[in-house]
Structure 1
Amino acid sequence: MFSNIKIDKDRVVYIQLKDYIKDMILKGLLRRDEKLPSTREMASMFNVSRNTIMCAYEFLQDEGFVYMKKGRGTFVSNVKVDFQEKWKVSWESKINNYGRLSEKLDIIKHEAKWQKGMISFKSIAPDESLFNVDEFKKAFLNRMAIEGEKVLNYGYAKGYKPLIEYLLKYMENKGVNIQEKDILITNGFTEGFDLVLSCITKEGDGIICENPTHNTAIKIMRLHGLNITGVDMERDGVNLNMLEKELKKNKFKISYFVPSYHNPTGIVMSPEKRVSIYNILKHHDIPIIEDGFNEELRYFGAHVSPMAAFSGSGNSVIYIGSFSKILFPGIRIGWILGDKILIDYLESIKRSRNIHTSSLDQAIFYDYLNCGNFDKYIKKARKVYKEKYEFALKCAKQYIKNREVLGEGGMHIFIKLKDINSRELLARCYRRKVIFTPGDVFYVDDKGQDTLRLGFSRVSKENIKKGFMIIGEEIQKLGGYV
């Protein structure tokens, strides 16, 4: 019976033995009061030390699976596993509307999937080869040396205090007045946006945003049952006339905008348009949720202040920030900056859902940031991504027949085709091992069938050129023209 155990040299041996014996007991293969082989026999059988076997037996005893009799050996405990008649639940029939809609809106499941060997323009995640892992390791060791076991215990729903203080200063350096404002740490933008909508909207409320816009935001808005109205984009941001018209025609609880390196178009909203939008929404008393997407990846021109800076000592703008699209998306650190009263309510919602964002991750990230590593990283990242952006833009104009190429920086460009369906194009490119994101997933209505987003952050220049050429060739085969 024990000869069937296959020891994996890459795993701890006593744990493998413990788990194997436990499994046999639970399956009824080892019965009550049955004696196990002696530690000497087991050690000889598996060519391991007796201490290894003793350790396995001791853990089994601690877990109540065996008992030991001094001088007699180790025996199976009275573990009752009373198997009942098979009970099979039809879970498909029990899934609620939220679950069904979540699955339906899950583009990771339903869009074309990357396969090994493909050139992928789907991702707009940062290039992990740029991460300074050694400095991250130092930050980990430093925080553990300073705080040790404290950061391994429960933390606070609001977040790790040193990180909150760092981010308040960080926002102040962007020109934001932080008086009477506070910060809540979140698991990236996704949780932050969901928390805000959970707190201030109800099903059927109206929300106004750019069209196209961030696909994840669309998914969350739909899951909250909001009535979404999209405002068409121009080269420098939303169409103000259309915005005014929609505000006069419908009632809205809240608004949502991505003013910098807009996802998916890459447009940076002009300072003048930011001010105009702010004042228009102020007139209609509709608060703003500002998505600080990729603000740090400015390649050209002067600094453009976030809309949160325009409110001064006012509290009408809720700013949701995240480092995930720039640095270490694996630790999912984001934040909400807003009025203290609002943050107080959001903190309670956060606590009710997942207690807090990982204290360890927050502490390590704070140490990394506080040592000046982010400034050094972003300087290097801007240089690399700027070169790729300029190269991608050049290749797009050279190889891809289009109606318009949008993008002023960041990690992607957005292309509008003429008389070409991007999903039909994707199907053809997929067969040639090139994949991208069709643009219709970013629209709140039925528009965008002739658009696509091309992310280049994790693609080499060689593959950017090769992939863009393939896309261009397939457009020509489909009869595309300018």
Structure 2
Amino acid sequence: MFSDMKIEDKNSKFAYIQIRDYIKGMILRGLLRADEKLPSSREMASMLNISRNTVMYAYEFLQDEGFVYIKKGRGTFVSDVKVSTQEKWDIDWENKVNAYGKLSEKLDIIKHETKWKRGMISFKSIAPDENLFNIEEFKKSFLNRMSIEGKKILNYGYAQGYKLLIEYLLKYMENKGVDIKGKDILITNGFTEGFDLVLSCLTNKGDSILCENPTHNTAIKIMKLHGLNIKGVQIGRKGVDLNELKEKLKKEKFKISYFIPSYHNPTGIVMPPENRAKLYNILKGCNVPIIEDGFNEELRYSGAHVLPIAAIAGKGNSVIYIGSFSKVLFPGIRIGWILSDKVLTGYLESIKRARNIHTSSLDQAIFYEYLQSGDFNKYIKKARRIYREKYEFALKCAKNYIPSREILGEGGMHIFIKLKGINSRQLLEKCCRKNVIFTPGDIFYVDDKGQDTLRLGFSRVSKEDIKKGFSIIGEEVRNLGGI
């Protein structure tokens, strides 16, 4: 019985876990009965050709968990573990799932969009290239912060966030030109949680919200899950169409608005300063607060610094800024933040505490150490140079190889293409057969438009594959009748 046990690595310090789990499994399946004696540690060690200490350690764990008891001088015996299997009971979970769960599943593009397969050239991702991450510096940050904080950083933290990181980010926002007086920061699990918290705090089902059209797909999903009435305003090369915005504001009352002024997702457009000011004043005139998504602001490749709308607001508190480094650095640790009026931050903090207590204190502390050490500044300088080269190369290839009506994008990690009467999903189907995949643009529209658009992310693709992949896309566009 025990001789059949397979120990994958007999010299591993985790071999005792395999022994423990094997014996535990036999007890739970009724293969070992109560009061049955187990082989001695010496016998078991000889049988499995492992050290006696390993077996003794496994038996100690089983005793601690109540699966065995040890009689001094007599050996180790199976405890009387009650395993009572009742008659099968199945629930029809499909009919138990509520409307929120079903809508979440329906809007889950990871499940329902075309999936990447090994060997494909993928232009779906706009995540940073992990090959640029300085792992050694990150390890140093981990060790430094652990040595400073000690064990307490592994205990519960604060809902608002890690104090030193909050202070760093307040200064960071001040350096962007934002007046932080009367404002505070809440640390979140990336943009997604930040946006969800704000909508949970400020909107009710049926409220109307203004945004660009197209816009960030995750934002669309969250707005729909909150049951909001989404009204999109067309976007052009200078950002949102301000005349259309005015018309929509005349016709309807809006609870709040959401905009991505820098490296807009999916178009990559950077709204010029004068249009940001006009947008702010138009919404101010109608008393519609602004949620500003600071998407990819750190990847400004050229030209003068453009102030976020939160900076244009000056001493006012009407702009809620949601920031994240996830699109440029370590998205795996999911650190984001909300900068808002102190009163509002207090409410957001309470909602955060009710939902998940706090964002990982360990992640926040390590991230703070990395940021304040100066390593981030060195990283972002290198990242800007590499992504700028890729952007310029991708733009050149798109112009050379892909017949289109318009190519949009001013930097960042993606470009947006409007085709001439070609359905991007038909194009995707044909490209997949040649091992090229991209994101069809219709998922970014709030009104079922954009069937002739696509987003091409290039951040994690080599120049060689950008050229090859764009060439294949262009070839298939022509095969579908594109000129």
User: TM-score normalised to the size of structure 2?
Assistant: 0.99
* Alpha-carbon distance between aligned partners in 1 of 2:320 and 2:190, rounded to the nearest angstrom: 15
* Alpha-carbon distance between aligned partners in 2 of 1:193 and 1:400, rounded to the nearest angstrom: 35
* Alpha-carbon distance between aligned partners in 1 of 2:118 and 2:84, rounded to the nearest angstrom: 46
Aligned counterpart, 1:309: 311
**Structure 1 residues 31-53: Cα deviation after superposition (integer angstroms, max 9, x where no partner):** 11000001110000111111111
* Alpha-carbon distance between aligned partners in 2 of 1:15 and 1:238, rounded to the nearest angstrom: 59
Aligned counterpart, 2:272: 270
The DSSP-based 3-state class of the residue aligned with 2:299 is coil
The DSSP-based 3-state class of the residue aligned with 1:296 is helix
* Alpha-carbon distance between aligned partners in 2 of 1:276 and 1:11, rounded to the nearest angstrom: 65
Aligned counterpart, 1:155: 157
Aligned counterpart, 1:340: 342
* Alpha-carbon distance between aligned partners in 2 of 1:310 and 1:2, rounded to the nearest angstrom: 72
- 1:280 CA drift (Å): 0.3
- 1:234 CA drift (Å): 1.1
Aligned counterpart, 1:435: 437
Amino acid at match of 1:13: A
**Structure 1 residues 84-106: Cα deviation after superposition (integer angstroms, max 9, x where no partner):** 00111111110100000000000
Q: Runs of 4 or more off by more than 6 Å in structure 1?
A: none
Correspondence 1:16 to 2:33: no
Partner residue of 2:144 out of 142, 163, 184: 142
Amino acid at match of 1:6: K
The DSSP-based 3-state class of the residue aligned with 2:396 is helix
Structure 1 residues 258-267 or 147-156, which shifts more? Answer: 147-156
Structure 1 residues 79-478: aligned runs within 5 Å: 79-478=81-480
Amino acid at match of 2:202: I
Aligned counterpart, 1:3: 3
Aligned counterpart, 2:77: 75
- 1:11 CA drift (Å): 7.0
Structure 2 stretches lacking a partner, 5+ long:
none
* Alpha-carbon distance between aligned partners in 1 of 2:181 and 2:78, rounded to the nearest angstrom: 66
* Alpha-carbon distance between aligned partners in 1 of 2:134 and 2:31, rounded to the nearest angstrom: 51
* Alpha-carbon distance between aligned partners in 2 of 1:358 and 1:123, rounded to the nearest angstrom: 25
- 1:414 CA drift (Å): 0.1
- 1:372 CA drift (Å): 0.5
- 1:20 CA drift (Å): 0.7
* Alpha-carbon distance between aligned partners in 2 of 1:296 and 1:261, rounded to the nearest angstrom: 10
* Alpha-carbon distance between aligned partners in 1 of 2:299 and 2:39, rounded to the nearest angstrom: 64
* Alpha-carbon distance between aligned partners in 2 of 1:5 and 1:90, rounded to the nearest angstrom: 38
The DSSP-based 3-state class of the residue aligned with 2:417 is strand
* Alpha-carbon distance between aligned partners in 1 of 2:202 and 2:452, rounded to the nearest angstrom: 35
Structure 1 residues 49-60: aligned runs within 5 Å: 49-60=51-62
Amino acid at match of 1:4: D
* Alpha-carbon distance between aligned partners in 2 of 1:460 and 1:335, rounded to the nearest angstrom: 31
Amino acid at match of 1:68: I
Amino acid at match of 1:397: K
- 1:310 CA drift (Å): 1.1
- 1:457 CA drift (Å): 0.2
- 1:160 CA drift (Å): 0.2
**Structure 1 residues 85-144: Cα deviation after superposition (integer angstroms, max 9, x where no partner):** 011111111010000000000000000000000000000000000001000000000001
* Alpha-carbon distance between aligned partners in 2 of 1:186 and 1:5, rounded to the nearest angstrom: 46
- 1:2 CA drift (Å): 0.9
- 1:311 CA drift (Å): 1.1
User: TM-score normalised to the size of structure 1?
Assistant: 0.99
* Alpha-carbon distance between aligned partners in 1 of 2:367 and 2:424, rounded to the nearest angstrom: 39
The DSSP-based 3-state class of the residue aligned with 2:475 is helix
Amino acid at match of 2:402: I
- 1:454 CA drift (Å): 0.1
Structure 1 stretches lacking a partner, 5+ long:
none
* Alpha-carbon distance between aligned partners in 1 of 2:419 and 2:13, rounded to the nearest angstrom: 53
* Alpha-carbon distance between aligned partners in 1 of 2:350 and 2:51, rounded to the nearest angstrom: 53
The DSSP-based 3-state class of the residue aligned with 2:271 is coil
- 1:4 CA drift (Å): 2.0
* Alpha-carbon distance between aligned partners in 1 of 2:393 and 2:337, rounded to the nearest angstrom: 33
* Alpha-carbon distance between aligned partners in 2 of 1:65 and 1:398, rounded to the nearest angstrom: 69
* Alpha-carbon distance between aligned partners in 2 of 1:420 and 1:236, rounded to the nearest angstrom: 25
* Alpha-carbon distance between aligned partners in 2 of 1:373 and 1:219, rounded to the nearest angstrom: 35
Aligned length: 481
**Structure 1 residues 417-436: Cα deviation after superposition (integer angstroms, max 9, x where no partner):** 01100000000000000000
Amino acid at match of 1:430: C
The DSSP-based 3-state class of the residue aligned with 2:297 is coil
- 1:8 CA drift (Å): 1.4
* Alpha-carbon distance between aligned partners in 1 of 2:19 and 2:269, rounded to the nearest angstrom: 59
The DSSP-based 3-state class of the residue aligned with 1:108 is helix
